[in-house]
Amino acid sequence: MQETNDMEWETIKPPQPLNDFVESFWMISNPSSKDHQIVLLPDGRFDIIFSLSNKVLFQAILRGLDTQPEKATVPSNTILFAVSFKLLAIEYLLDDKVVSLLNDGTPLPLGFWGITDSNLNDFQLFCQKAATKMLSLIKPNIDQRKQRLFNLIYTSHGTLPVKELAEKVGWSSRQINRYFNQQFGLSLKAYCNIFRFRSSLQHIKEGKLFPELNFTDQTHFIKEIKRMSGVTPKELSKNKNDRFILLSALPTK
């Protein structure tokens, strides 16, 4: 578990059968008496977040993809347990669309997945319960083209051009973009740019304030980082007051 004076956070990887659908389980806790201001960054995933605090009753929210930075607050005495999903999960695990949830979220019914406020007392047990539920929901007969496409995006850190991705999976660029726009609300190129930004965060945390992931040049790199985070790579790397919690949670190499 990582922590600062005000915040605590932890990440756990999913069991192997969930690897195509789940990126991670994570928790954030603000046990202090002060609210903590954060900035949500685009990270190429969507989340189901369960939260409980002194100010807000237990709730579950489905959060869609983010394409821009957004200021938020983790209230005092708040705990959040969450599952971060890869895109394949939308169709084959949740059987849903998140087009209308771009840069937004929607409440889920009470009792979703059988998770209650008492499950937010133990992060390990929460992960086990959520994993068991998700394993029971996975649909069979996954489209192999989609599976290969997402694997290529993730392993290449979003750096491959759309045309090359289409050729490698045997699926036309036009069909892929139609699928992305209908299912997720953005184009494949836009998603790849988000994922490349997200992959750049590890380099920025290590102090590498120059392009390493197929950006055109330094100017392009700075422009993209500022568009996605609202600040320059240098300011992002400083991460004052741990306000960029996604950056804070990355391992220090």
Of 137, 160, 192, the domain-final residue: 137
Global pTM reads 0.93
Question: How many Å separate Cα 18 from the centre of its chain?
Answer: 16
- According to the model, what pLDDT value does residue 54 have? 85
Q: Is residue 250 part of a domain?
A: no
Single-letter code of the amino acid located at 145: R
**Whole-number pLDDT of residue 204:** 93
pLDDT score of 3: 66
Q: In degrees rounded to 5, what are phi and psi of residue 10? A: -150, 145
> Is 243 a member of any domain?
no
Give the domain-ending residue among 86, 109, 137: 137
Domain stops at, among 137, 154, 181:
137
Considering the domain architecture, whether residues 82 and 113 belong to the same structural domain is answered as yes
Instruction: Please classify residue 91 by burial: count the beta carbons closer than 10 Å to its beta carbon, then call 0-12 exposed, 13-18 middle and 19+ buried.
Output: middle
Which pLDDT tens digits describe the chain residue by residue (253 residues)?
776 667 899 999 999 999 999 999 999 999 999 999 999 999 999 999 999 998 888 999 999 999 999 999 999 999 999 999 999 999 999 987 788 889 999 999 999 999 999 999 999 999 999 999 999 999 999 999 999 999 999 999 999 999 999 999 999 999 999 999 999 999 999 999 999 999 999 999 999 888 788 888 899 999 999 999 999 999 999 999 899 999 988 887 6
**Range list of H helices, the chain:** 88-92, 123-137, 144-155, 162-169, 173-183, 188-205, 218-229, 233-238, 245-248
Indicate whether 251 belongs to any domain: no
User: What does the pLDDT look like over 180-199, one tens digit per residue?
Assistant: 999 999 999 999 999 999 99
Per-residue pLDDT tens for 115-164?
A: 999 999 999 999 999 999 999 999 999 999 999 999 999 999 999 999 99
Q: Residue 43 is part of a domain; what is its CATH number?
A: 2.60.40
> What pLDDT is recorded for position 5?
61
244 within some domain:
no
Q: Are residues 131 and 17 in the same domain?
A: yes
Do 130 and 12 have their domain in common? Answer: yes
pLDDT of residue 4: 67
Q: What range does the domain containing 165 cover? A: 144-238
Q: What is the pLDDT of residue 45?
A: 95
The answer to whether position 246 is within a domain reads no
CA–CA separation, 154 and 156 (whole Å): 6
Measure the CA–CA gap between 144 and 222, rounded to whole angstroms: 36
Domain shared by 17 and 133, yes or no: yes
Q: Residue 179's domain is classified under what CATH number? A: 1.10.10.60
Same-domain check for residues 67 and 160: no
Residues 208 and 172 in one domain: yes
Q: Please name the helix (run of DSSP H) or strand (run of DSSP E) that holds residue 72, with its range, or none.
A: strand 70-74
Question: Do 111 and 49 sit in the same domain of this protein?
Answer: yes
Are 75 and 59 a contacting pair, CB within 8 Å?
A: no
Considering its fold, how many domains does the chain have in total?
2
Q: Report the pLDDT value the prediction gives residue 2, as an integer from 0 to 100.
A: 77
Q: Does residue 249 belong to any structural domain of this protein?
A: no
Query: 79 and 170 in one domain?
Result: no
pLDDT of 124: 97
In a domain, 225, yes or no: yes
